[in-house]
Structure 1
Amino acid sequence: MSGDIITHEITATTEQRRAVGATGRGTSLAPSRAARELGLKRSEFDLAVHLGRVRTVPDEGGGGRRVARDEIERIRAGEGFPEALRDSVRAVGTTAGAALMEVSGARFTRLARLGLLVPVHFYLNRYRAVVWLYLAEELRQFAADEKNAALLRGRTPEGLRDQLTEGLDLRSRNWRGRHLGFLLRKADDPWARAAAVASLLDPVEVSEIVVDPYERSCLNRFRPVRPAHTAPGSPASQRAEEIMTATDADEVDWLRTDLAEALETARRHRPAPRPAPRDHERRPVPAAPDAPGHRASEQPGGFRGMLGRLWRGDS
């Protein structure tokens, strides 16, 4: 009798879990379906998610992010839908952006290089040239602000002209900063947040901060997928990698500091998984006598840091 009761309880619990799972997926949509319901192209939908225009939820089945049906209905009930939504994620290049702001293409490029216009996306054309895209909504706001009238119509101030002459170009750096914000917005785990910061650093820089190989492995597991621009290993792909990796000394220092802080938070939240020690590894091992160079090689950042510096020096 008791066996029948236990079996019944287990079966009922299993059915309840299945029902909850089915309901969860039944009340949410995959990104491609959500994009169609909102009248967006997939690229526009992805940008809407990055910008927080469309909120997503984790897929309990481990299949990535999804959009709740309630969120779809909320957006569709918004004023001016669907034109207002499409306009809020409209991205334009230099030519269209300059026309929108009623300035020349050269002036538009100068404003972008100075960091006054921040790219939201980029791609490489057939000639491997970088094409930057900007939010039309932000360009209109910039042009409508009276404080920017002199930059749009007058002569570029001398100090700014000097910076441009010296080669200043903040487009890549500003894109990275914006992209990091996108990544952090959707990171729902401290390790994922640390991995988002690490994704903008050169692997050598990461290895100097994250000395533990198991922690590096954990970061790699959470590492966000970089946007695919071309075939891996191609010259265009290498160019895209350069854009997505911080190189300015102050930016690198800032990211290293952020990574170290994010790593401490992740450790407190949950240590990186490690393999269970074997029986012979549980027995205490007598300490080896100190030898010249012995301690330096075991200290975090010692031998590995030296290798990192040699690697960077040879590159």
Structure 2
Amino acid sequence: MSGNTITSTAAEATRTAPGAASRRTSLALSGAVRELDLRRGEFELAVQLGYVRTVPGETGGRRVTRAELDRVRGEEDFPDSLRKRVEVMGTRDGAALMGVSPARFTRFARLGLIVPVKWYLNRYQAVVWLYLAEELRQFATGEANAPLLAGRTPQGLRDQLDGGLDLRPRNWRGRHLGFRLRETDDLWAKAAVVASHLDPAQVEETVRDPYERAELYRLRPTQAVPGSPDSPAARIAARITTADDDDEIGWLRADLAQAVVEARRYRPAPGAPSAQPAGPPGGVSARQEPPMRADPTSSRGMFGWLRRGSS
């Protein structure tokens, strides 16, 4: 009698809590941080770089399966090996690691030879760029880079620097775009990621339907910056996160147009009619589809674009 009662109670609990099994086999991100013995920033970077894989949660957000936690914990020399892969450095420490002066290190970064992975504002409202230590080691030990590390900067590169070239914001945007696109499987959310790096006026010119723009703005990821929207910090963040040259803007607008076409096929934006008239040239509509472009998150697409910016 008691065995039947226990079985019945367990079955009833499963019926009343359909997500219980999923919660038992996966953890919220905060729980995964503790399980992997990482700092929050280390964990976030490990997810962005693909070292820790996440899955969509039943009620939104992302989770980490216990199988994935076991896989990561089973790696050799865990957690030190994972911490080494997500270690970041600023200019001074990065220059010391590479055996160059901070000024030379900054020149490398401005030329796009090394790509920042994060940034923040210090108490003086100055931008502090952070780089993956592992990538700096690879650059420093690369045979082809030896002349840059010890010799005089080539004249062509010096001319670009004298002209004010600084690819750090653009390269960070390209890298961040790839991170964000991998965080979601929702096609409208992917389109919103692309739109987040464009000025609102450019989004309006590219996406003519107001309902679709509203969906993009609703799903638009935000950069956490202290202070009010009109604060100096917010203005600096806007300059870093928003595309600012014609080549990059054109790339993003074409990708946004294609992303909206694909998202519309998946599902219409809330409130939008199922079929829309063609908009003016340069906009995207149900009857006007831009040509396919290379995936900006692939190494050949996005980072090829970034390298072209340093040529």
> So what's the TM-score if we normalise by structure 1?
0.81
Matches of 1:118 and 1:81, distance apart in 2: 26
Say which one has the larger Rg.
Answer: 1
The equivalent residue for 2:28 is 30
The equivalent residue for 1:138 is 135
- CA apart distance, 1:33: 1.6
Q: Deviations over 1:71-122 (max 9, x none)?
A: 1110000011010000100010000000110110000000000000000000
The equivalent residue for 1:155 is 152
Q: Aligned to 2:71, which of 70, 74, 87?
A: 74
The equivalent residue for 1:290 is none
Q: Aligned to 1:227, which of 223, 231, 256?
A: 223
The equivalent residue for 1:199 is 196
Consecutive unaligned residues of structure 1, counting only runs of 5 or more, are 1-11, 277-297, 305-315
Q: Secondary structure at the match of 1:67?
A: strand
Q: Aligned to 1:190, which of 187, 190, 210?
A: 187
Q: Secondary structure at the match of 1:187?
A: coil
Residue type at the aligned position of 2:227: A
Q: Secondary structure at the match of 2:228?
A: coil
Q: Aligned to 2:101, which of 93, 100, 104?
A: 104
Q: Deviations over 1:223-255 (max 9, x none)?
A: 22x231211221012101110011111100110
- CA apart distance, 1:170: 0.2
Q: Secondary structure at the match of 1:96?
A: helix
The equivalent residue for 1:119 is 116
Q: Secondary structure at the match of 1:123?
A: strand
Q: Secondary structure at the match of 1:132?
A: strand
Matches of 1:100 and 1:20, distance apart in 2: 51
- CA apart distance, 1:300: 3.1
Asked if 1:213 corresponds to 2:210, the answer is: yes
Q: Secondary structure at the match of 1:134?
A: strand
Matches of 1:72 and 1:37, distance apart in 2: 8
Residue type at the aligned position of 1:229: V
Asked if 1:179 corresponds to 2:173, the answer is: no
Matches of 1:199 and 1:267, distance apart in 2: 18
> So what's the TM-score if we normalise by structure 2?
0.82
The equivalent residue for 1:293 is none
- CA apart distance, 1:15: 5.4
Matches of 2:13 and 2:142, distance apart in 1: 59
Matches of 1:210 and 1:117, distance apart in 2: 34
The equivalent residue for 2:38 is 40
The equivalent residue for 1:270 is 267
- CA apart distance, 1:61: 2.1
Moved more, 204-213 or 108-117: 204-213
Q: Deviations over 1:2-30 (max 9, x none)?
A: xxxxxxxxxx9985554541010122111
The answer (yes or no) to whether the contact 2:223–2:237 under 8 Å persists in 1 is no
Matches of 1:68 and 1:171, distance apart in 2: 35
The answer (yes or no) to whether the contact 2:215–2:269 under 8 Å persists in 1 is yes
Q: How does 1:246-285 map to 2 (within 5 A)?
A: 246-274=243-271
Q: What is the RMSD of the two structures over their aligned residues, measured on CA atoms? A: 2.2
The equivalent residue for 1:21 is 19
Pair 1:120–1:17, CA change in 2 (3 A)? farther
Count of residue pairs the alignment pairs up:
271
Percent identity, aligned pairs only, is: 62
Pair 1:14–1:116, CA change in 2 (3 A)? farther
Higher helix proportion, which one?
A: 1
The answer (yes or no) to whether the contact 2:211–2:272 under 8 Å persists in 1 is no
